[in-house]
Structure 1
């Protein structure tokens, strides 16, 4: 008997089993994921020809164009360019822009914090809207409020984010005049925040550091509509997830046992069933963050929110495909790493995810 316990204990502690094995596998999956994504980006960017001809070809003589192509290495075979591109990516070099000769990593440092701030605000909106309304829909299932909320969820994730942004601007900025039309902050507030020692680039954090309510309220007012436009996209998904899983949880045996003891239905929802229903939200969080990063491109353009998405559209307009290729590849790496971190958190919370 003791030998059996020893064998069982040794199996439980075997490296590579359980959580450790799950984390290792998920981490190793980052490599093929990033490889596939950056390969797709490289191939799509080459569909239009070489980046220099696409960007400045019409403004150069043939001799000047050939000289620029040779200097950048675009006159070499496509396979050689691809191998060099992969080597650069895996050493952290995402290239330099053609229009202003800036390093792509520098663009990330300058504008990535703005996109991060927008995604965090949108995630807060999605959680605040999606989870309570999902719980309410499950509590009132098969009644008219449930039907209304389900239609609301469909509208949230089916409405294009740019259309939602324009509609919100029309109502709350043009008609009602409650909120600003665009930007991350008023010019004078942005000037004050830019002068803060050790500025993080995240306006709400810098505003909170000053302790000045006028700065905080201005930043929140500018963030309200972009966060709402982007957050509602994910709120609809969260609402449906919470509703479906909460209804399933309310049918479990331990909930039926609590119900038989006379526990009120509202208390069953709040105290017994909602925590297990939140686990699927955590498991899909990585995918939703990736969707938010994609939606941030349109949201930032709609509200002139100077982040990575806004800069990406500017480089697209300038036909600077080196910049576009670098930014998209960088976003692909960020999405892959984010999904890995979310998967680890989900495995820590719910052991069933590991198997």
Structure 2
């Protein structure tokens, strides 16, 4: 009897042990992923700094030939660009570590530039991600359901075109059709001037127009903001939507061949239910896993999209600073984007690890 009780106790013990092991595996995985943020940001910031310095100091790059040599040299000395590059580099790292991204050539704090224009880019990235998910998930399910038939072929071609078409070309084409020819949608901007001013004058505005419109209950402004967002969001969302479509199609087709799906099929479960209920959720895990990379792609595509639609966000402002050769401002914006991409990837890793335990090991 004693031996039997001891055996029962021994058999019951592995359960909690496995739970502790699983929890420890998750904690270790998240710690490693979090620590990887630091070298990622460091490498990106370092590359941008030295690439910007290849053309010389920012003052000479922006004002060379526009000022007398004495005034130009005085500005270079005032900004500290006549010191060794390695000294400037470590000073710049120290500034970033304290959250100071420097000043533009017109002495505007880059932190303020990031706050002013970053909300617009975040708004565009959000709308574009919604468009990408609305395109990629439903159409990917349709393509998987009609595998190797004409709907599948058409959707695969659509996905390739969406991914391969340059963002600026898609934007110009959409503007030509829906703004110039049909006159259905605004051609540029984030909102009409009157609505934009009303949203900017709110108490403690977020800078994200659709959120500010909802907070203030201004449905007229909200409708105007959404109309202005359609074309840039579609132009940028097509880029990522094509990738999501192919991912969903591939993973749903793979899931439909699993034993539990075949068992459901043998019990008479409809093909539609098998696709939308049993094969759908497992196919979302790869999308969540790669979503961090797609956020980086959305932020990169925002430069061209914002310039095409005069959407005054970080991408639009980055193009302006490149035009005026304000490399300090360019460094600050790129450093912020590097931080955003690294943090986004970490958040995506956390979600993927919580959904699929296999990711942790």
- Is the pair's TM-score, using the shorter chain for normalization, greater than 0.5? yes
Where in structure 2 are the equivalents of 1:169-184 lying within 5 Å? 169-184=175-190
Structure 2 residue 219 is the aligned partner of structure 1 residue 213: yes
Map Cα deviations across residues 253-310 of structure 1 (whole Å, 9 max, x no partner): 0000000001111110111110000110000010000000000010000000010111
Q: Which residue of 1 aligns with 2:4?
A: none
Task: Return the offset for 1:196.
Answer: 1.8
Alpha-carbon distance in structure 2 between the residues aligned to 1:11 and 1:279: 24
Q: CA deviation at 1:102?
A: 1.3
Calculate the TM-score normalised by the size of structure 2: 0.95
2:313 aligned residue (303, 307, 311): 307
Residue 9 of structure 1 deviates from its aligned partner by 4.0
Cα distance in 1 for residues equivalent to 2:38 and 2:110: 21
CA shift for structure 1 position 160 = 0.5
Structure 1: gaps (5+ residues): none
After TM superposition, list the pairs within 5 Å mapping 1:4-19 onto structure 2: 9-10=16-17, 12-13=19-20, 17-19=24-26
- 2:326 corresponds in structure 1 to 320
> TM-score if structure 1 supplies the norm length?
0.96
Q: 2: CA distance between counterparts of 1:44 and 1:187?
A: 38
Q: Which of these residues, 224, 227, 232, is aligned with residue 230 of structure 2?
A: 224
Cα pair 1:16 1:24 within 8 Å, conserved: no
Give yes or no for the alignment of 1:30 onto 2:32.
no
Q: Distance in 1 between matches of 2:339 and 2:145?
A: 40
1:115 equivalenced with 2:121 (yes/no): yes
Choose 84-93 or 261-270, whichever is displaced more.
84-93
> What corresponds to 1:166 in structure 2?
172
SS at match of 2:64: helix
Segment of structure 1 superposing worse, 186-195 or 233-242: 186-195
Distance across 2 between alignment mates of 1:103 and 1:337: 23
Q: What residue is the counterpart of 1:46 in the other structure?
A: 53
- The answer to whether 1:63 aligns with 2:63 is no
Give 1:63 shift: 2.1
Larger deviation: 56-65 or 214-223? 56-65
Point out where structure 2 has 5 or more consecutive residues left out of the alignment.
1-6
Structure 2 residue aligned with 1:92: 99
Shift in Å at residue 12 of structure 1?
4.7
| Number of the residue aligned with 2:3 | none
Superposed CA RMSD: 1.6
Q: Which moved more, 1:343-352 or 1:171-180?
A: 343-352
Change (3 A) 1:15 1:139: closer
* Alignment counterpart, residue 154 of structure 2, candidates 144, 148, 156: 148
Larger radius of gyration: 2
Distance, in Å, in 2 between the alignment partners of 1:275 and 1:318 is: 48
The CA distance in 1 between the partners of 2:69 and 2:222, in whole Å, is 54
Question: Which residue of 2 is the match for residue 278 of structure 1?
Answer: 284
In the alignment, what sits opposite 2:109?
Answer: 103
Count of residues in correspondence between the two structures: 354
- The residue number in structure 2 matching 1:21 is 28
1:218-240 Cα distance to aligned partner (Å, 9 max, x none): 11110000000001110000000
Q: CA deviation at 1:213?
A: 2.9
Out of 239, 242, 245, the residue aligned to residue 236 of structure 1 is: 242
| C-alpha distance after superposition, 1:134-153 (max 9, x if no partner) | 00000000001100000000
Tell me how far 1:4 sits from its aligned partner. 7.6
Secondary structure of the equivalent of 1:82? helix
Q: Which residue of 2 aligns with 1:346?
A: 352
- Asked if 1:189 corresponds to 2:195, the answer is yes
For the 8 Å contact 1:15–1:21, the answer to whether it is kept is no
Deviation at 1:131, TM superposition (A): 0.4
